[in-house]
Structure 1
Amino acid sequence: MVAVLRYLRGSCRQALGGFLGGFSGSASGRPRPLCGGSRRASTSSFDIVVVGGGIVGLASARALALRHPQLKIGVLEKEKDLAVHQTGHNSGVIHSGIYYKPESLKAKLCVKGSALIYEYCKQKGIPYKQCGKLIVAVDQEEIPRLQALYERGLQNGVQGLRLIQQEDIKKKEQGQHVTYENKQGLMAIDCPYTGIVDYRQVALSFAQDFQEAGGSVLTSFEVERIGMAKESSSESKEDLQYPVVIKNSKGEEIRCQYIVTCAGLYSDRISELSGCSPHPTIVPFRGDYLLLKPEKSYLVKGNIYPVPDSRFPFLGIHFTPRMDGSIWLGPNAVLAFKREGYRFFDFSAKDFMEIIMNSGLIKLVFQNFSYSVNEMYKACFLAVTVKNLQKFVPEITIHDIQRGPAGVRAQAMDRDGRLVEDFVFDGGVGAIGNQILHVRNAPSPAATSSLAISEMIADEVQQRFGL
C-alpha cells in the first residue's frame, strides 16, 4: 500500500514538473485582537470558548452570543486570520439540498440553511447570485438516476425543481451550450434555487455580528492542550468559575467553563485532547480546480453538474460561476498528503504517516481503487479532465483552461473505511468530558447549512451544559 501511494504521488509530481488569537508578547499579557477593527479582549477567561474560526465555528459563536448575551464568549483560531482554510477555499455554491437522503440531518439542514443564507445576505447587503443549476444526463443510463434524484429533491422540499427534456434545456440560458456529441443534453433537473456567494465574506460578517454582541475573537492561538485546573485544597475563585484550561503551543493559557470545538481539518486531533476516541478520523481530500479563461466565460451562465454516481462520495466535475465573474471547473478528489495541502506537492510527514497507518483508509482505497487511480490520473493530465468537460460543453478545448485554486475537504471516516456522512458530536472522558462539546463532523454542505447548523449546535450546548 505504501509503495502504491509513493508511486502515484511520485508519478504525478513528475507529470506536473515539478482560528484565534494568541498573545502578542506585550508587557500587558493581553490577547492580541483580530486585525481589521476587532475589539480588544478585556479578559482571558470566558464562560464559553469556541475553538475554530471557520464558518461553522463563527456561526456557532454568533448564535451562542445572540442567545446568551449575559455570557462571556470567545473564539480561538490558530491562524492570524479567520476563515482561511475550508471556508476560504470553498467553491461558493449555495446548495439546494437535492442530493441528500430524505429525513437526514444533511437534507434538513441544507434546505433550511440555504433559505437562511439568502435571507442573511439580503439583510447584510452581501452580494450573491441565485443563478440556478442544471444537473444534466448525457447518457441514457444516467436518466433513471436523474429521475430518482429528482424524486429525492421533491421529498426534501427543494424549491422550484423541474425535470426538463432535451428541447427545454436548449431554452435555458445557462444551458444553451450544454450539449453531448453535438446533441443537446438528454434530460436535466433544473434547480433554480441554487446560488453562489463568497462564503469567506459571509463568515467574516458572522464574526462581526459576534463581536458586536460582545464576543471576543483571538487569532494565532493554536490549541495544544485542554485540561481541568489542578485540584487543590485552596482552589481560587477563578479555578471554581473557570475550571477548564486551554494552552497553546507557546504555553499560554485561556480559562473557561465550557468549550465547543469546530476544528474542521483538525477536529479529530482536538477531540483526542480530551480523551476521545481517534475515530472517526479526518482524511484530507484535495480538490483541484481549473479556470476557464475569461474570453470563454460566456459558455457558462449557471452551475452545470453531472448526474452523481452513488457508488462514490463526490459529485463529480462541474462548472461553477464565481462572484468575481470567473468560472471554476472541477474539482477532482485526490488524497492529500497534508491536511492543509493546497498544492499537489505539499507534504507533511506526520499527516502522511497517519494516512498510511490508517487501516480504515486502506480499506477505502482498495474498495474504490479504480476510482482513486482515475482521480489521480486526471489530476496529472489536463487533457483527461478536458475530455470529461467536453461531454457537457464541447466548445471547451485544452487551450481554454488553466490550473486554478484548490481546496481540502475534511472527510470523516470510521475504522472500517466508511465515510461518515452525517454529524458527529463527542465529549471526552473524566471531568473534562462534562465541559466539552466536540463537533467532530460537519459534512458538506456545511457552508450552505452554517446558520442552521449553528442553531443545532446552540441547542446542543444549551441542553448539554444546562445553560
Structure 2
Amino acid sequence: MGAPVRRVVVIGGGIVGLAVAAELAARGDRVVVLEKEGHWAAHQTGHNSNVVHAGLYYKPGSLKARMSVAGNASMTAFAREHGVPVEVCGKLVVATSDDELPRLHQLAERAEANGVPAKLISADEAREHEPEVAAVAALRVESTGVIDFPAVCAALVGQLIGRGADLRLFSPALGIRTAGGRVQVATPQGVVTADALVNCAGLHSDRVARMAGLRPKATIVPFRGEYFELRPESRDLVRGLIYPVPDPTLPFLGVHLTRMLDGTVHAGPNAVLALRREGYRWRDVSPADVLDVARFPGTWRLARRFARTGAEEVLRSLSRKRFAASLARLVPAVTADDLVPAGAGVRAQAMLPDGSLVDDFLIETGPGQVHVLNAPSPAATCALEIGRHVAGLV
C-alpha cells in the first residue's frame, strides 16, 4: 500500500504560495490554497519589476545564491513550456566612476563563485550594448531576463486546477489552531482542516506564523519601492537592463532601468518605509501597521544606522528631479521631463530585533507547519526552487 494522501493548506496566493502548492499537488497531496484577495498575485508578485535574476549579488552558498542560479533556468524553462512571455536579454551592471571599480570586480568574483555567467567589459564594450550609458567599466550578465510573473501564476493555477486543487479567493486566515495532530484554519467561509500548513503570506507571513503559535525570530517591515517609466519618445535611451554597482553597506540595490517585454522602460525602485503593509502610496496609512513598526526595536536601530540614506530616499520619493538625477548617473540623457509615474510595489522585508535585515530566505518550521518568513527579491525568480524545497520540508 502507498502512503496515505495528505491534505495540505497553503496560505498565500502569490507566486511562492502557488509554486509550493503546485509542487505539493504534483507529489500527490490534496492541496487547499487560501488567498485573501480576489485574484492571484495581488501584491508582491503583481507589483515587481518582472526580472528573472541571475544570482550574482548573493552570498555564495546561501539559499538565494543557489536558488537564483537554479531558478533562473527553471523559471525560464517553465515560461517557455507554458507559453508565458520571457526574454533572456542580459543586463549591465555599470561602474560610473573609478572608485566603484573595486566593488565591480568584487561583484564579478561573486558571480563566478555563484556560477553566474558574467564578464567584465570596457566602457566602449558597454556602449555597444547601451549607447547612452555612462560607464568606466561594466559587468555583462548574460542570463538575466524579463518575464510576466502574473502570467506564470496563471499557468500555475492552471496546473493546480488540473490536479484537483481547492483554490479559494477572498479567503483570509482568521485563526489557526492544532487539534488531534491536525491543523485548522478559520476562514470567512468556514474551517479548513488539514494535515499540514504552509505559510506563504508574504507581507503578513510573520502575523500568520504568530497566529499559528510560532514565535518567529524576525518581523516583517514593509518597504515601498516606487517606479517611474520613460515617456515613449525617450524609450530609445535604454535597450535592456542597466543597474548601478550596489553599495554593500546599504540594504537595497539602488534605482535601475529595465526595458519590459512590451517595450516600456521602467525606472526604480527607490526604498521608503511604507505606512501600511500594503501601502502603495504615501496616503495609504494603517495606524495599526505604523504602531507595529514603531513598537519594534529593530526599526529604530535600522533608522539610526541608515538615517542619511533613509532621508535621501524620502527626498527622492518626493522629488521627480532627484529621482531623475539618480538615473542620470547611469544614463546622463535622462531628465525629470522623461519620467511619468508607474506605480509602486511593497517589499516584505524581514528584520531582526537588532535592526539587521534578514539577508537570505528565511523558512521556519513547527509541528506540521512550514513558514516562509522572508522571501523578497529574488523570490519570484526562485519560486519553483522554493516550491521544491518547501514541499520537501512538508
What pairs up with 1:325-344 in 2 under 5 angstroms?
325-344=263-282
Asked if the contact 1:131/1:301 (under 8 Å) is kept, the reply is: no
Partner residue of 2:186 out of 235, 247, 260? 247
Shift of 1:425: 2.5
Asked if the contact 2:171/2:189 (under 8 Å) is kept, the reply is: no
Partner residue of 1:62 out of 19, 22, 25? 22
Asked if the contact 1:65/1:210 (under 8 Å) is kept, the reply is: yes
**1:123-145 alpha-carbon deviations (Å, 9 max, x no partner):** 11111111110000001100000
Partner residue of 2:374 out of 435, 438, 441? 441
The secondary structure found in structure 2 opposite 1:417 is: coil
* Correspondence for 1:451: 384
Asked if the contact 2:240/2:258 (under 8 Å) is kept, the reply is: yes
Asked if the contact 2:347/2:376 (under 8 Å) is kept, the reply is: no
The secondary structure found in structure 1 opposite 2:132 is: coil
Shift of 1:72: 1.7
* Correspondence for 1:93: 51
Establish whether residue 128 from structure 1 lines up as the match of residue 86 from structure 2. yes
Partner residue of 1:386 out of 313, 320, 324? 324
Asked if the contact 2:90/2:142 (under 8 Å) is kept, the reply is: yes
Establish whether residue 191 from structure 1 lines up as the match of residue 141 from structure 2. yes
CA distance in 2, matches of 1:202, 1:251: 28
CA distance in 2, matches of 1:49, 1:56: 14
CA distance in 1, matches of 2:265, 2:128: 21
The secondary structure found in structure 2 opposite 1:64 is: helix
The secondary structure found in structure 2 opposite 1:162 is: strand
Larger mean CA deviation between 161-170 and 375-384 belongs to 161-170
**1:411-441 alpha-carbon deviations (Å, 9 max, x no partner):** 00011111011222224xxxxx422111112
Shift of 1:367: 0.6
Asked if the contact 1:133/1:192 (under 8 Å) is kept, the reply is: yes
Larger mean CA deviation between 118-127 and 302-311 belongs to 118-127
* Correspondence for 1:39: none
Asked if the contact 2:323/2:336 (under 8 Å) is kept, the reply is: no
CA-atom RMSD, angstroms?
A: 1.4
* Correspondence for 2:119: 162
Residue type of the partner of 2:331? V
Shift of 1:251: 7.0
CA distance in 2, matches of 1:368, 1:397: 27
Asked if the contact 2:53/2:145 (under 8 Å) is kept, the reply is: yes
Structure 1 alignment gaps of length 5 or more: 1-44, 180-184, 230-239, 428-432, 462-467
The secondary structure found in structure 2 opposite 1:325 is: coil
Structure 2 alignment gaps of length 5 or more: none
Asked if the contact 1:58/1:207 (under 8 Å) is kept, the reply is: yes
Provide the identity percentage: 41
Residue type of the partner of 1:374? E
CA distance in 1, matches of 2:46, 2:337: 28
What pairs up with 1:16-415 in 2 under 5 angstroms?
47-68=7-28, 71-159=29-117, 161-172=118-129, 175-179=130-134, 185-229=135-179, 243-248=182-187, 250=188, 252-415=190-353
CA distance in 1, matches of 2:288, 2:109: 44
- Structure number with greater Rg is 1
CA distance in 2, matches of 1:244, 1:171: 57
The secondary structure found in structure 1 opposite 2:236 is: helix
**1:145-183 alpha-carbon deviations (Å, 9 max, x no partner):** 000100100110012x110011211222xx11102xxxx
CA distance in 2, matches of 1:123, 1:453: 19
Shift of 1:443: 3.3
CA distance in 1, matches of 2:277, 2:218: 15
User: Structure 2-normalised TM-score?
Assistant: 0.96
The secondary structure found in structure 2 opposite 1:205 is: helix
Residue type of the partner of 2:194? C
Asked if the contact 1:285/1:334 (under 8 Å) is kept, the reply is: yes
Shift of 1:46: 7.2
CA distance in 2, matches of 1:170, 1:437: 47
Asked if the contact 1:421/1:443 (under 8 Å) is kept, the reply is: no
* Correspondence for 1:15: none
Q: How many equivalent pairs are there? A: 390
Larger mean CA deviation between 322-331 and 281-290 belongs to 322-331
The structure 1 segments of at least 4 consecutive aligned residues displaced by more than 3 Å after TM superposition are none
* Correspondence for 1:426: 364
Shift of 1:313: 1.1
Shift of 1:385: 1.2
Residue type of the partner of 1:176? P
